[in-house]
A = this chain, B = another copy of it.
Amino acid sequence: MAKELWKGNEAIAEAAIRAGCRCYFGYPITPQSEIPEYMSLHMPKVGGIFLQSESEVAAINMVYGASGAGARVMTSSSSPGISLKQEGISYICSAELPAVIVNVMRGGPGLGTIQPSQGDYFQATRGGGHGDYRVIVFAPANIQEVVDLMQDSFELADKYRMPVMMIMDGMIGQMMEPVEWKKPPVNPEDLPAKPWATTGTKGIHEPKAIHSLFIDPNESNDHNMRLDAKYQRIMADEQRYETSETEDAELIFVAFGTPARLARAAARLLEEEGIKAGVFRPITIWPYPYDALYQAAAQDSVKAVVTVEMNTGQMIDDVRIAVRGCKPVSFVGQAGGRVPTPQEVVAAAKSALGR
């Protein structure tokens, strides 16, 4: 198929519709408002539901209701709005319902800036809400990858009955890039039935209840252990990452999303100076590809690991966990809307190598 030029946010919305999403609830916030805007125009055309809610809190709870009723449903927001959704996300995880949540990140904390950032890594990977839960988190690095991952997001959400989050810095939402629509669109009618959905007993089945209350400590513990077992399964089966030139590298950059591009540019600059640097890019940041990163870092050739982020250093915790002290780990980044330059990344790499 030919490539088309798409604005990131519109591509996200279109990709969701092509993935069979027929239900969207959201509240405007820069830099992702084009998602609800696109949905408002295009959802009705495919017989889907678009509703602008009174707030992000309401939106996530509408998602909760719609998902319980069996819909393939999505919401999107940007950082402060995602913070407001945390209670609702925790409920959806506990009630084990599928949903896709997009966070087009802006700089924080507080009102911050509407410029791009990756400041919500912790929130996404550690659950900003209360209790023991996880969401699968994809961190695409360009618009094409957003589009490619959207269908997977809905499928994993259904498969594991849990939210899948897609996080990207605001730049990806605002920019235009060429996109190729590789997968055929999903017809929601072809999707497998959801026997757990509350769609009325029809007088046939026993009443169903979607809930997250387990008042008895033993029941609650069992529920948590069951969820944990599911999360362990996902950790085993769903890690994704990409490496470039990591074999026999002297230095490994670790970066997710946009900074991975910068890291590759920096690696090329380093190559010119005779330093072999590779880039390890997690695509799922939860489950985090710990073992793969360890393998890469543990190679004899590797002298240092440098994480590159558009924040003050968040993924570096996971990198440290992965690397298990086998190599020194350091950080280079910019927060709150600034993007590190390849030159800054090169400088950080050299200093990590002691040159």
Contact = CB atoms under 8 A, between A and B. Distances in A.
Interface in A56-106: 57, 79-80, 82-84, 86-87, 90-95, 105
Interface string A302-325: 000000000111100100110111
A208 interface: no
Interface residues on A, range: 35 or more
Contacts of A132: 108-109, 119, 311-314, 335-336
A224 B312 contact: yes
A220 B94 contact: no
A48 interface: no
24 contacts: A79-B130, A82-B130, A83-B129, A86-B129, A91-B111, A94-B109, A94-B110, A107-B224, A108-B131, A108-B133, A110-B131, A111-B213, A112-B130, A112-B220, A117-B131, A122-B122, A123-B129, A126-B314, A132-B313, A132-B335, A217-B338, A221-B334, A221-B338, A224-B312
A228 interface: yes
Interface in A318-355: 320-321, 323-326, 334-338
Interface of A: 57, 79-80, 82-84, 86-87, 90-95, 105, 107-115, 117, 119-120, 122-123, 126-133, 211-221, 223-225, 227-228, 311-314, 317, 320-321, 323-326, 334-338
Given A107-B224, A312-B225, A112 B218 contact: no
Nearest to A228: B312
Contacts of A335: 132, 220-221, 224-225, 228
A127 B129 CA distance: 10
A240 to B, nearest CB: 21
